Amino acid sequence: MKITVGIPVYNRKSRIAACIDSVLTQQVNSAFTFSVLVVDNASTDGTPEVLEGYASNEQVRVVYNESNVGMAPNWTKVFAEADADYIYLLHSDDFLLPGTLQKVADFVTEHPDCDFGFGAVHIDTGKSIRKDIFKLKGQATGIVPNSWLLEEYFYKASHPCPPQTWFVKKGVIEAMGGFITNNMCCDFNMSFKIVASNYTIGYINESLSMWVLHDENIGGGDIRKHKKDLLAAIADIQENAVALKLDTSKLAGITDWVAKEELLKFLKIGDRAEASLKAADLTGPTFDKSSLKELLMWLFKYTKINLIRPFYKVKTLLDTL
C-alpha cells in the first residue's frame, strides 16, 4: 500500500519546509510506503526556491503550476496528480504529528473499505496548544455511520472533518467532480457531498495534524471571514439535494444553524451584545432549550447577558491542561 501526502501551496516560504519535513520524519514500518506531492500554485514569495531544496529527495515530487489556478482547483490537482492508494491532504502551513502515517496505514489496513477518513487536530494558537480538537461526539476509532454525521453535524452547518486530517482513497475526489471553485469552504462542501453519497467513512479518534493559526490564515475557523462562502457552499448542496438523496426539509433550515454558529463565535470572543446580534442577523432562528449551548444563546438573545464566554474560557483552559 502507498500513501501520498498531498500539499497544495501558495506563498508559504517561511512554513513549507517544516510542513514537508513533518512528513519525511515520520517513523513507519515496512507495511506501506509513503511519498510527498507538493503542487505549487505559482508562488511569488520564494516558495519555489525552498522547494528546489528537495529536488534530490526521491520521496518528494513537486509540480509547478504555470499560473495561479485558485485554491480549490489546486486542491483538485493534488488529488489528480497523486499516484497512491490513499492521499492525505495537508495544508502547507500545518504539519503532521509524529506517528500519523502509521496510524492511517493501520486504519486502512484494518478497514480496506474506507473511502474517506479523518481525525482530530491539535491547534497551535500562537499562545498555547489546544489538544484533540474536533473529536466526534461519542465515536471511537472505526467506521462512522453516514446518517449520524449528517444529523449531528452537516445538517447543522457544522464541519466535523478538519481537512488537514483527510485521508482519501484514490479516485473519490475525481468521482465527486473536484472541489467547487472560488469558495474557501470547498472542504465543507466536498465532505458533505462525500458523506451524503454513501461512501464508507472512517474516523481515527486521535489528533493527526497540528493546525497552526496565524495572521495569514484564509479562514482559520472564523465564520466572520467565511460566512459568504459557507452560504454559497450550502446553496450548492441544496441545488444537488435530489441527486445526493438529502433531506430537503433539513437543508431548508441549515442557514438557521449558520446564524446560531455566528452568534456563538461572537459570544465566545466576547464582542459587545449589540454588535453580536447585528452581525449574526438573528431575525428568525429558534433555539433548542434542551441544549445548554443553545439555552445560553437564547438567554443572551433576550437578556443581553453573555454567559457563553466564561464557559468557553474555562473549557479552553481545560483543553490546554
Q: Encode pLDDT of 56-93 as tens digits.
A: 999 999 999 999 999 999 999 999 999 999 999 999 99
**Full-model pTM:** 0.86
Q: Encode pLDDT of 248-269 as tens digits.
A: 988 988 888 887 777 777 777 6
> Quick one: pLDDT at residue 65?
97
Q: Encode pLDDT of 114-147 as tens digits.
A: 999 999 999 998 888 999 999 999 999 999 999 9
User: Would you place residue 1 in the very low, low, confident or very high pLDDT band (cuts 50, 70, 90)?
Assistant: very high
Sequence letter at residue 155: Y
Q: Encode pLDDT of 181-214 as tens digits.
A: 999 999 999 999 999 998 999 999 999 999 998 8
Q: Could you tell me what percent of the chain has a pLDDT over 70?
A: 90
189 neighbors 65 (Cβ within 8 angstroms) = no
C-alpha 181/C-alpha 236 separation (Å) is 11
Q: How many CB atoms lie within 10 A of CB 39?
A: 25
User: Would you place residue 288 in the very low, low, confident or very high pLDDT band (cuts 50, 70, 90)?
Assistant: confident
User: Would you place residue 283 in the very low, low, confident or very high pLDDT band (cuts 50, 70, 90)?
Assistant: low
User: Would you place residue 279 in the very low, low, confident or very high pLDDT band (cuts 50, 70, 90)?
Assistant: low
For residue 272, pLDDT over 70 is answered with no
Which residue's C-alpha cell is 479523518?
118
User: Would you place residue 304 in the very low, low, confident or very high pLDDT band (cuts 50, 70, 90)?
Assistant: confident
Domains of the chain, by residue range, sit at: 2-212, 255-321
CATH topology for the 2-212 domain: Spore Coat Polysaccharide Biosynthesis Protein SpsA; Chain A (3.90.550)
Alpha helices in the chain, H assignment, sequence order = 16-24, 47-52, 71-81, 100-110, 146-152, 172-175, 186-196, 223-239, 241-244, 248-252, 254-269, 273-280, 292-303, 308-320
